[in-house]
Amino acid sequence: MTEFLQHLVNGLSVGTIYALIALGYTMVYGVLKLINFAHGDVYMVGAFSGLYLARGLGVDQSPSLFKALLVFFGSIVVCAALGVIIERFAYRPLRHQPRLTALITAIGVSFLLEYGFQLPPVTQGSVPFPPGPTPRFFPEPFPRVDYAPFGVHVSNYDMVSLAVAVGLMFLLQFIVYRTKFGTAMRAVSFDSSVAGLMGINVNRVISWTFALGSGLAAAAALLVAGSRPTINPLMGLMPGIKAFVAAVFGGIGNVPGAMVGGLVLGLAEEYVAGYALSSYRDGIAFAMLILVLLLRPAGLFGRVRAEKV
Amino acid sequence: MEQVKLALRSALPFLIALPVLWGVSEVLRYYEFTSFQYILMMAFIDVILAVSLNVINGFTGQFSIGHAGFMAIGAYTAAKITLAARGLEIIGLPPGISDQVIFLLALLAGMCTASIAGFLVGMPSLRLRGDYLAIVTLGFNEIIRVVIENTSFLGQATGLSGLPRRTTLVWVGMGAMATILMARRLVGSTHGRALLAIREDEVAAEAMGVNTTGYKVRAFVISAAFAGLAGGLLVHLIQLCTPRSFTFVKSIEVVVMVVLGGMGSITGSVIAAFVLRFGVEALREAQQYRMVLYSMLLIVLMLTRPTGLFGTREIWDWLPRLRRNRAEGGAR
């Protein structure tokens, strides 16, 4: 029973992270019909910008809650800007090209970030830039406290992470379904050319969508960096792909679907790896993806649309 | 008589290539250009990979980014067979020739298993389009890697070592020749026309009675078989078979070759494979910049010339004397 609960806790904490990243995928797919392959690497950039900010503010010498918040929101802003820049220069010129063209560009951007961050350093400092391939430790903004109710290990980082992630998801739900911007975004997702005719500035909506998704990825990265504190330039590859699986599982383009998909994937991984096939953890997501696509290609909440000629 | 002539004609390229390749490799050995010979062999393996991926990505218009998975299957099958057959000799043959025959059988077995895998991956492509298919092939590539890393029979993460060095310039050259001929003849055949039709417009092709799913699966099977061949040749060149040689990064390298050369152009793929392989060797000191260069190449190419260097054309389309009537499909 203890083991079961422990897996539940771990699964939820991984699952919320997947869900946050998956939201970025699903929103971008919704408005552009593009798999933003570079999204996992935006998540990695989020972790590193958090590291630079934390070092710059001296979080390891004198940790404080204010600095932690500054780091958190600072890297969200950095990543949002990065997302907008990527969209502006890599995807927007290709919007009227075949979709594969943009997908190839996205793969290119992803590799550029991954391997660009592994280049030999240009600037010196406590953490050089680019940081190089060595894993780095993320400073802890507040002391770690472990609790063990019923023998289940939970740290205060896990609780903060879960609370923040759930809070962000509610915030996003509010933005998408209750604000003017959210309405515009859903309109663009439904039919961008008609939305443009109705006076919606499609380019601006797409830019903001990228900003929102990338900001969520940065938040996810910082929540992960808090509980599992090493970061490296390739850290975004696997979570990125798995979050994509989560988005497809929930029905890509569907916001609540991405949340559910992330949680289901996190729990599935944790339970399958914990009880049966521990070394196959990374394969589970792909097996799940192939099954979903074979059995229900539109995903859990996706609607099947007839193909128009 | 007519049939003998036909058979001779189709075997002609091989009959010409064999002595030429053998001569080149002897000359290279005589002057001890060992590293050049090695790079040349790697380039030929890249040619096999790029041309075979072009069958899916270029001719059929699907987008696979899991080519290294098929490579891995072919490589492990071939490696297992040559390891098991070490010390064995086929009765009645001198040892040198017997080894070569066993190697050929191992490569063919690798092609078979890889094509079975291609069939299994091709099946989901029956319901998936474009970008979803890309992710499934990527996922398949990762599953292969995870499975290999967890199977003690296949040496787990350390892989299989101590393979005999069987791959020679003649072997890779003939492999590349076979792949190019396969692709060339495929495009000219009914099957190839069906593939091109699927690329140009899937719905229209289906309306014209092309069994789109069947042809897509066939394209996957053919392409996977040759990827398996490349895998088998590669591991018998570097004498080591590890999952690290067949990661996602390898798949992307092949995709870069195909995209650079032009999706749908065989000569484009060949030239891109040679350019990238020799370019990488020339920039050996700048090894860490390689992937950055590849990624920038992809982005810049897509932004400025999404058709690649050659588009769907072949190099002889620019030779005025040999210019053919390009009434065939695929001309932009």
- ipTM of the complex as predicted: 0.81
Closest CA to B38 of B250, B268, B226, B284: B284
Count of Cβ atoms closer than 10 Å to residue A178 Cβ: 10
Using CB atoms and an 8 Å cut-off, which of residues 216-275 of chain A contact chain B? 237, 241, 244-245, 248
Residues of chain B under the 70 pLDDT cut: 124-127, 129-130, 320-332
The reported pLDDT for the residue numbered B321 is 55
B91 located within any domain: yes
Using CB atoms and an 8 Å cut-off, which of residues 87-116 of chain B contact chain A? none
The more confident residue out of A122 and A90 is A90
* H/E segment holding residue A154: strand A154-155
Judge contact between B256 and B303, C-beta under 8 A: no
Q: Residue A304: pLDDT above 50?
A: yes
The reported pLDDT for the residue numbered B320 is 63
Per residue in B271-329, pLDDT (tens digit) is 989 988 888 787 777 777 878 888 888 888 888 888 777 877 777 777 765 555 544 44
Would you call B124 and A294 a contact, using CB atoms and an 8 Å cutoff? yes
Using CB atoms and an 8 Å cut-off, which of residues 31-70 of chain B contact chain A? 63, 65
Would you call B63 and A108 a contact, using CB atoms and an 8 Å cutoff? no
Classified as helix, coil or strand, A155 is strand
B184 located within any domain: yes
B143: chain A residues, CB-CB within 8 Å = 283, 286-287
Q: Any idea what the CATH number is for the domain that residue B113 is in?
A: 1.10.3470
The reported pLDDT for the residue numbered B331 is 44
The reported pLDDT for the residue numbered B48 is 94
Per residue in A4-52, pLDDT (tens digit) is 888 888 888 889 999 999 998 888 888 888 888 899 999 999 999 988 8
A171-175, A234-238, B97-101 — which one is most confidently predicted on average?
Answer: A171-175
The reported pLDDT for the residue numbered B125 is 63
Closest CA to A54 of A132, A126, A156, A162: A126
Tell the residue number behind the tokens 């055949």, with chain if given: B189
B331 located within any domain: no
The reported pLDDT for the residue numbered A175 is 92
Cα–Cα distance measured from residue A140 to residue B207, given in angstroms and rounded to the nearest whole number: 62
B173 located within any domain: yes
Would you call A110 and B295 a contact, using CB atoms and an 8 Å cutoff? yes
The reported pTM is 0.84
B29 located within any domain: yes
Would you call A293 and B124 a contact, using CB atoms and an 8 Å cutoff? yes
B328 located within any domain: no
Q: Residue A195: pLDDT above 70?
A: yes
Nearest by CB to A116, which of B142, B292, B298?
B292
Residue B24: which domain range? 2-322
For an interface test with B, the pick among A286, A296, A305, A309 (most B C-beta atoms closer than 10 Å) comes out as: A286
**Helical spans, DSSP H, in chain A:** 2-32, 39-57, 65-86, 99-116, 156-178, 180-190, 192-197, 202-227, 237-250, 255-275, 281-295
Would you call B146 and A110 a contact, using CB atoms and an 8 Å cutoff? no
**The total number of structural domains that make up chain B:** 1
Nearest by CB to B295, which of A34, A115, A309?
A115
pLDDT band at A280 (very low <50, low <70, confident <90, very high): confident
Tokens of B82: 């040559």
Domains of chain A: 2-123+148-295 (1.10.3470)
The reported pLDDT for the residue numbered A309 is 54
Angle between helices B248-261 and B130-149 (to 10 degrees): 140
Closest CA to B299 of A102, A29, A82, A240: A102
Would you call B139 and A290 a contact, using CB atoms and an 8 Å cutoff? yes
B93 located within any domain: yes
Would you call B302 and A294 a contact, using CB atoms and an 8 Å cutoff? no
Decide if B259 touches A, using CB distance below 8 A. Answer: yes
Strand ranges (E), B83-137: none
Buried b / exposed e over B101-125, threshold 16 CB at 10 Å, is ebbeebbbbbbebbbebbeebbebb
Nearest by CB to A289, which of B135, B149, B291?
B135
Environment class of B243 (CB within 10 Å of its CB; exposed 0-12, middle 13-18, buried 19+): buried
Nearest by CB to A101, which of B124, B132, B302?
B302
Alpha carbon dihedral B2, B4, B7, B13, in 10-degree steps, equals: -100
Would you call B303 and A248 a contact, using CB atoms and an 8 Å cutoff? no
For an interface test with B, the pick among A104, A114, A248, A293 (most B C-beta atoms closer than 10 Å) comes out as: A104
A294: chain B residues, CB-CB within 8 Å = 124, 127
B329 located within any domain: no
Cα–Cα distance measured from residue B120 to residue B141, given in angstroms and rounded to the nearest whole number: 12
